[in-house]
Structure 1
Amino acid sequence: MSDTDDYILQKIKTYVWSGFYSPEEVDSMIDDILEEDANEAMLRAAVEPEFAAKAAAEEDWPEETDCDRLDGAFEELNDGGIIALHNAGYTMSDGLSDVSEELHERGRDQVRGFCFYHGQDLERAVDGGGLMLAFGAIPDEPAKNKKIGELLKYTLEEWGFTVEWSGDVGTRLSLPTLDWKRSLEQSEDEDFDDDDDFDEDDD
């Protein structure tokens, strides 16, 4: 197997196990990462078995997963005036752009801060590396930023997560022990729309 095929197969596995994309969406996303030397037929044929493997694994998942609790924490934050976004673009700049769009929809007077993780964070989480969360206040003021960070840490700990954060507003929060297990049905229930994520951009 070529290095190209190995790379794309790993991407396919990440797309599938992220829980955000249907088989049809993953097949379409392959178009964005195909190279001339790739074995397209083999790669597309790998999608269905990967979904089958994930479906089988889900049979042994706990009734409540860390992703369920993360959804609960984000819902609580959103209800409290914090824009909390899942899988927001692929880079920090993408995530901040998504926050800006959401802020425009909600109205500035309804929002006091934000948090999100982007596609590269998601890749690391799926690979077992925990999850990083970006955050900030609206408007952007150092003292308010710290309060948002403290609120996020408290809320996530209340939902049972181990949270690592130095208290420095220039650093992100880390959920180092988060075990990524998200079902496709779970994402469909939340009505996520992230077809543009996992582009090949830099951090």
Structure 2
Amino acid sequence: MLPSTLPITVNTESGEVRSQVSAEDLAGIIARLGGEGDRFAVVERAEPAAGAKGAEDSESGGDHYIQTWHEGDGPYEVEYREGTAKRHFGVRMESAGDVTDVFVAWARGEDGWADGYAWERVRFPADEAEEEPDPGLDPELPAEAEAEAGRMIRCGFGTAEEITEAVSDYFHADGGTPLSVPAARRIVRRLWRERLAEQEGWPEVTDADRVAAAFAALNGSGVTARMHFACCGNCAFAEIGGEAAEGDHGFVFFYHDDTRHAADGGGLLLTYGAHGKDREEGEEGGKEAAAAVGREVVAALTTAGLSVKWDGDPDRAIRVEPLEWRRRLPAA
């Protein structure tokens, strides 16, 4: 008799991580895929099965998984990997039932689980650059794309599809980009899956959770607190007033580059100040009002369990350090 549960772990775009699921549970997960923020599922097991397609020359190390992407009413894009990029294959399937059957057979290591489908090798940008050199393509582009995708994923604020589009756009020049959205998506999916696996070993409360808790408390006490707010400091200053709730007396934010700095292992810089006329530069009252907001921010961060460096000068940013930025990937 076949075991009631499968020896697998399932990761989904929504942030769900489940282990030892039944075939029925797996069918339910696959059937529901397609909506915003819940378009892919990645299934992993520790070792490749002996009956896997191409097992005779698959790698014993590396990554071993099967995954699918389904958006709206489109087909299911199914891929599996056996060790390295050379053993990464894909095919399109039309029904959730077919996808489930293949996933379950793969999970159980059944002989011939991949038979009956026209699997094709999935080529990644690095593979294409090596095998079909393009004199107009920067040979460093694949590595740069992966580094940029990794930074965005570590920040923890964008969905997989938002990051995919951003990575493709990152190289935009002269009316186009050398990195297509599908190529960027393959990079992001793999790194997203790796990040989800990392999250399983994180503590229940991370430093990023503590920052979020402090900002939530400030939002409830008259301080407009925004995380990962705006593309730059100038834009953040211009827009923060429009975010204020009635009665808010001050603000604090960190913008995109601040998040990146924290995600890259540095501290987190926070910009703060007072709303209204008191924030005008050169007014003594304005400086004191800004300093008062700064003290509120420091108190909230300290209460949340974070270390803060600030000398009380309202012209200096508040620095949260040491800080290990581990923000869980968004569910949508």
What is aligned with 1:100?
Answer: 241
Name the residue aligned to 1:8.
Answer: 145
Provide the C-alpha distance between the structure 2 equivalents of 1:73 and 1:37, rounded to a whole number of angstroms.
Answer: 40
Pairing partner for 1:49 from 187, 190, 201: 190
CA contact (8 A) 2:218 2:224 kept: yes
**Which of 8, 20, 28 is matched with 2:157 structurally?**
20
Q: After TM superposition, give the deviation of residue 68 of structure 1 in Å.
A: 1.3
Q: Measure the CA separation in 2 of the matches of 1:94 and 1:21.
A: 19
SS at match of 1:122: helix
Counterpart in the other structure of 1:122: 259
Structure 1 counterpart of 2:212, one-letter code: D
Are the equivalent residues in 2 in contact too, given 1:135–1:148 (CA < 8 A)? yes
Aligned to 2:311: 166
More helix by share: 1
Corresponding residue for residue 322 of structure 2: 177
| Alpha-carbon separation, structure 1, partners of 2:185 and 2:178 | 11
1:79 aligns with 2:220: yes
| Higher RCO (Cα < 8 Å, 6 or more apart) | 1
TM-score (norm 1): 0.83
* Counterparts of 1:124 and 1:100, CA distance in 2: 25
Which is richer in strand?
2
Structure 1 range deviating more: 87-96 or 38-47: 38-47
Return the TM-score normalized by structure 2: 0.52
For the pair shown, the structure with the greater C-alpha radius of gyration is: 2
2:298 is aligned to: 153
Q: CA RMSD in A?
A: 1.9
- How far does residue 151 in structure 1 lie from its aligned partner after superposition? 1.4
Deviation of 1:142 (Å): 0.8
1:60 alignment counterpart: 201
Give the letter aligned to residue 119 of structure 1: H
| Structure 1: stretches of 5+ with no match in the other structure | 189-203
Where does structure 2 lack aligned partners over 5 or more consecutive residues?
Answer: 1-125, 127-138, 280-285
**Aligned partners of 1:130 and 1:175 also within 8 Å:** yes
